[in-house]
Amino acid sequence: MSLGLLAFHAVDSSTASAAERPVRVIEAHLADEAGPMIRMHNLCVGAGRANEGLRADWQRQLTKAHNECGFRYIRFHGLFTDDMGVYFEENGEPVYNWQYVDELFDFIQRIGMKPFIELGFMPSQLASGTQTIFWWRGNITPPKDYQKWADFIAAFTEHVTERYGRDEVLTWYFEVWNEPNLDGFWMGNPEGLPWEEWAPGARAEYLKLYATTARAVKSVDSDYRVGGPATAGEAWIDETLAFCAEENVPLDFISTHSYATMGGFLDEYGNTGTVLSPDPESITAGVRNVRAKIDASPFPDAELHYTEWSSSYTPADPIHDTYHSTAFILDKMKNIGADADSMSYWTFTDIFEEPGPRKTPFHGGFGMMNYQDLTKPAYFTYKFLNTLGDTTLRNDDPESYVCRDEAGGVQALFWDFALNTPPEGVNNQDYYNTDLPAEPVGDVVLQLSGLRPGSYQLKATLVGYRSNDVQTAYIDMGRPNQITREQVATLRAASDGSPRLDEAIEVGADGAFAREFPMRENDVWLVELLPL
């Protein structure tokens, strides 16, 4: 279906018979409230590493993401790696230096956000070994001296308390390490042992690190929030809960990670051929399972934070760039609901150097924006969700939200989630790197009642195949490795978020509105009625 042929029809709901209506009807009455809008989706968003946060382009993009998508916290690796210059020793005595951290945290606070602090990796002069991960060489070994590590963490916590104030730091989160159940992130595995042989010793060492770190944070203020285990694939949840209960170790939240790709958790340099899971309950079922474990534990009030999640764990997967990701994200957020306190999308930007600087403007990077600030379809998911009013209206359609705001505006966000997995034997890197037209799935009728009679501005914005679809526009361009200013302008115009429909309408004395919208696989519509 050509976008030029997309049609919008007013519907006379009093005369249209059931047989004449499209199969899918979304109905809501402004007085029929379902409850407050759950906003766990934008509590936090991910980024690559702390040092990238000192770059002007990274800061520009985070400001845009905060302003338009409403992200409140930012999480990243590498706060304590050597490029942040936080720890040195002179004659065996620790020397702390917080200047780069201050510059980064000052910026985050200045734009109205907060850090979700990942405490890691190990400063090389405090490390027990030399094993590292990523192009930027994050040290993955335990401390050579746990007392020095505890003193370092306490000094860091005291510093941010002094600089930003106790009341502010009480709102922060302190997370211990990142994915310690993977040998790439914790201790290494020089003997190449099978996971089931390596994991028990690594877990015991991590729990020692967790206890030392959590107690060091709490030594500054017992009300500060600390948690873990920040594992890949929802591992070590039971063990962490049991250990903290048995050893009386503080635990304010559980954190873990999940990706919707079959097999694997780590692709350091983006060389793996990944495949999207065919399970429609991927991500969602895991969240529910972890929440149930917390509820049944000695820590039933602990928050649950997924501090990384996405469709794929590799920094070179074109599914991150494709229009399919928009409905995919919405499906997960709607079905997870309040079972998680946050789902931190990994990541907001392609300015991400775990495998080193990337060579092309679109390379399947994790980000919602590429190097040139071009917005991918995933970005609009969060922008649309942030547009929704604070009150949700009762609505039986499972792939939609209908909300209202205090100004009398109404917003409807609806989508078609089609789990388009690659054919057998084909990986994401081949499948999602091609032009993939979307099939029509019928029209959707949006019917609203209880509106205040009067004038409204009606806006309807579409994300889908060839609509705010920068990846397909890039494919049309021949996928150049470097893009000119003129090509950037062309791609920006293809993904600028302009509404497909923008017109003034009148709502009559009956307070009713009805409009028909065409729908294709993985299309996402945001419809807004703004009182004039």
Q: Is 89 one of the catalytic residues?
A: no
Check 234, 308, 354, 399 and give the catalytic one: 308
| 26 CB-near residues (< 8 Å, 6+ apart) | 395, 397, 400, 402, 412, 414, 444, 445, 446, 447
Q: Tell me what the pLDDT averaged over the chain comes to.
A: 94
3-state secondary structure of 116: strand
Residue 365 — very low, low, confident or very high, per pLDDT cuts 50/70/90?
very high
- How does pLDDT run across 461-470, given as a tens digit for each residue? 999 999 999 9
Output the CA–CA distances (angstroms, integers) from residue 385 to 230, 326, 425, 530, in the order listed. Answer: 26, 11, 35, 16
> Sorting pLDDT into bands at 50, 70 and 90, what band is 129?
very high
Structure letter (DSSP) for residue 43: S
- For 422-465, the pLDDT digits (tens) are 998 999 999 999 999 999 999 999 999 999 999 999 999 999 99
pLDDT band at 171 (very low <50, low <70, confident <90, very high): very high
SS3 content of the chain, % helix, strand, coil (to 5): 30, 25, 45
3-class state of residue 34 by DSSP: strand
What is the dihedral sign for C-alpha 507, 512, 517, 522? positive
Residue 233 CB partners (closer than 8 Å, separation 6+): 181, 256, 257, 258, 265
- Give the per-residue pLDDT at 270: 87
Residues in the chain: 532
Kindly state which CATH superfamily the domain 3-37+391-531 is placed in. Answer: Glycosyl hydrolase domain; family 39 (2.60.40.1500)
**Integer angstrom CA distances of residue 235 from 111, 181, 229, 299, 450:** 34, 7, 8, 17, 48
Q: For residue 90, indicate whether it is catalytic.
A: no
Cα dihedral 24, 29, 30, 33, rounded to 10, equals -90
CATH superfamily of this structure's domain 40-387: Glycosidases (3.20.20.80)
pLDDT digits (tens, 9 = 90+) for 101-124: 999 999 999 999 999 999 999 999
**Domain definitions of the chain by residue range:** 3-37+391-531, 40-387
For the full predicted model, state whether its pTM sits above 0.75.
yes
Q: If pLDDT is split at 50, 70 and 90, which confidence band does 11 have?
A: very low
358: Cβ–Cβ under 8 A, 6 or more apart, which residues?
315, 350, 352, 365, 371
CB 310 within 8 A of CB 329: no
Task: For residue range 254-285, list pLDDT tens digits in order.
Answer: 999 999 998 888 888 888 889 999 999 999 99
Q: Are strands 524-531 and 410-415 parallel, antiparallel or unpaired?
A: antiparallel
Residue 113 β-bridge partners: none
Q: Is the pLDDT assigned to residue 234 strictly greater than 80?
A: yes
Cβ atoms of 24 and 519 closer than 8 Å: yes
| Catalytic residue, candidates 179, 239, 354, 521 | 179
What share of the chain has pLDDT > 90, as a percent? 92
Give the model's confidence band at 9: pLDDT under 50 very low, under 70 low, under 90 confident, else very high: low
pLDDT recorded at residue 272: 87
